[in-house]
Structure 1
């Protein structure tokens, strides 16, 4: 999440987050349960933290086959603290295992939480968290496939993400930032997909009581602008995650969402999404030819659009819609994810740009969140239409 903007009438500038310092391989961290973990080489970096290969502490060095990773941030930073709250409440191995068993799932794509704590080095304190190691993300696969996924794969990914969302929603959270770069394949099994990055995860129903529908200035710019839901500016809910998933599936299938030509204009993007929800059939016509239009994605969006703000989705009905799509193309969910390029897919450099209705085509660089759009363009997203109740 970006730093908070300076409050009106205050003379103090927003606090800047500190960058993480690199630890040497072999550094040993002790979690709150007194379990020790040894760091290997760093394998990733966020805006303010590093991700290291890790194993339980032993005399051996951490090898390339390590089964865990440790995320490390300076203790005063916020993103990992927010993510940690989700993992501690909802991602303990026994919780996930019991859910899989009770729902008869072969797998569930929520990384397991193995421990966390504070580590001090050279007088500085760092927060860390141990989770499962994962493989490549779907954004890389999407680009490798010429920014088009086959229809069967899109529907299978939708089914896997629905399982994940039902689980995290049942544990009182919404994710709020579903996208290909936050979906990762298993390190050991390329047919399993996991939803990661819970830094924006929102506890929508503490102790089972849904939060009231009202504007939430602290969260009004959360999410990734091309996907974030219309609800985002008023506090996320379960239908928000499902709306975001629907945009992802449409993009994966057609290559580009209609509003991707002007991602730096947050109001333009929001208004396009409002129009897409008001006339889903017209939105689908913008994205697909009549021969290519997937009826199941339109039905999925219509089902999500009909949900009330606090209404519990019928996940099984949504799954049945996607399974009907598989049946329509004479396929079934065989739990094998085939990332072969879709028919007619081209390299990313050749993907055509969408032309706005005013006849102007502008391709902007994607920006990570609505807050960045506001910061760069001076947009006040609070000046929005009321949206949906």
Structure 2
């Protein structure tokens, strides 16, 4: 589906404000922790007698009552993802975990003559996009395959409950704030009820709705203007897995030209498995993803996928843990004289001629992705990186190592 239109954020509610949901449960608002397409996100608590703690387990999404994205997401949870139904599904499939956030309640509220809609959810941690960027744009092959298997479980559940997600991407995958081995598929504001009352929508192309979704990953059906379907969700997932494994997609430089992106995706699907196997980077095998997309290619628009077979195609011989490294933002602070003294310690010439330890990895990832990624935190070697790179490959006499060519702040102290 098309991304939601930008709407004015609702006027902020005061900390400590009490809201009552449709089941008469009361919730106390804490501080604001974010904004999104669904409005404003607050910390929340069931304890009404004290301030909401920073480590609370709940968040509360609030939007103006006239807006739509939160209403759409709310309908998904009420129809398809009630906690009791999710728990029964897990038991029937013998699953220890299913990556669907827990819905705790919803309702309407008024404050200063303004009307609001709200929804209470399980609190989650950082999104996978930040993890991918902090890893240089790629994830380990075993992690990619395990993520894929977990997401196939999620898609099977929502598909069996008449919905498709239609916007799978790293920014919509959230790590559990207490256990980073658990990853949730979130943001159902664009979810689509493809099979209301058991009757599948018919395939119908509509050029006016062409290219809907996130252009890098959206399905070929969506490029043609057809409504989202189960095979579309799986194709989107396949493109995402390929991106996380290889660090780029063949059409990354074409995202401003939707028709050319569509043509590039069609070529990739037409030439499977070779088209995917040739994208291998750093020795990581893409065979499993080639097989995954080859199976998706065989599906008809209304076909029910074989989810067990899809999980088998993504089987990994790697370690059982995801092993995702959660990025941590360094605390903001001003430079001090202590920092400057620390940076001016003498460095052996053999280290100064070589690039910083993390530099090649980020350069490789940027070249492979065809775009600039958010840089990883690295040790600062000087104010001007380009001058450093030119100087490092050449042997430099010691007298220059202590001079201005390296930067006045880097001069070693005299003995």
Q: Distance in 1 between matches of 2:87 and 2:361?
A: 40
Select 1:62's aligned residue among 42, 52, 77.
Answer: 52
Matched with 2:173 is: 183
SS in 2 for 1:26: coil
TM-score, length basis structure 1: 0.82
Conserved 8 A contact 2:165-2:192? yes
Q: CA deviation at 1:282?
A: 3.8
* Alignment partners' CA distance in 1, 2:208 and 2:52: 40
* Contact 1:264–1:364 under 8 Å retained in 2: no
Unaligned runs of 5+ in 1: 5-15, 356-360, 366-389
Paired position in structure 1 for 2:203: 213
Deviation (angstroms), 1:285: 4.4
Taking the TM superposition and a 5 Å limit, the aligned residue runs for 1:53-92 are 53-92=43-82
Aligned position for 1:351: 365
Q: Give the conservation status (yes or no) of the 8 Å contact 2:246–2:281.
A: no
**Quick check: 1:248 aligned with 2:240?**
yes
Q: Distance in 1 between matches of 2:119 and 2:209?
A: 24
Q: Is the 8 A contact 2:109 2:117 kept in 1?
A: yes
Distance 2:92 2:208 in 1: 36
Deviation track 1:278-313 (CA, whole Å, cap 9, x = no partner) reads 112342145225953321111111011111110000
Unaligned 5+ segments in structure 2 are 327-357, 374-415
State the secondary structure of the residue aligned to 1:88: helix
Instruction: Report the RMSD for the aligned CA atoms in angstroms.
Output: 2.4
Q: Matched residues in 1 for 2:58 and 2:360: separation? A: 36
2:382: which partner in 1? none
Q: 2:302 aligns with which of 310, 326, 329?
A: 310
Deviation at 1:116, TM superposition (A): 0.8
For residues 99-178 of structure 1, the aligned pairs below 5 Å read 99-178=89-168
1:296 paired residue among 255, 263, 288: 288
Match of 1:11 in 2: none
Pick from 219, 231, 239: which aligns with 1:239? Answer: 231
Measure the CA separation in 2 of the matches of 1:296 and 1:339.
Answer: 20
Change (3 A) 1:83 1:47: closer
CA distance, structure 2, for counterparts of residue 354 and residue 188 of structure 1: 33
Quote the Cα distance in structure 2 between the aligned partners of 1:234 and 1:294: 29
Determine the structure 1 residue equivalent to 2:323.
Answer: 338
1:229-272 CA deviation, whole Å, 9 max, x = no partner?
11112011001111011111111111011111121111111111
SS at match of 1:234: coil
**Partners of 1:161 and 1:231 in 2: how far apart?**
20
Segment of structure 1 superposing worse, 270-279 or 42-51: 42-51
Offset at residue 61 of structure 1 (A): 1.2
Number of residues paired by the alignment? 340
- TM-score, L = length of structure 2: 0.77
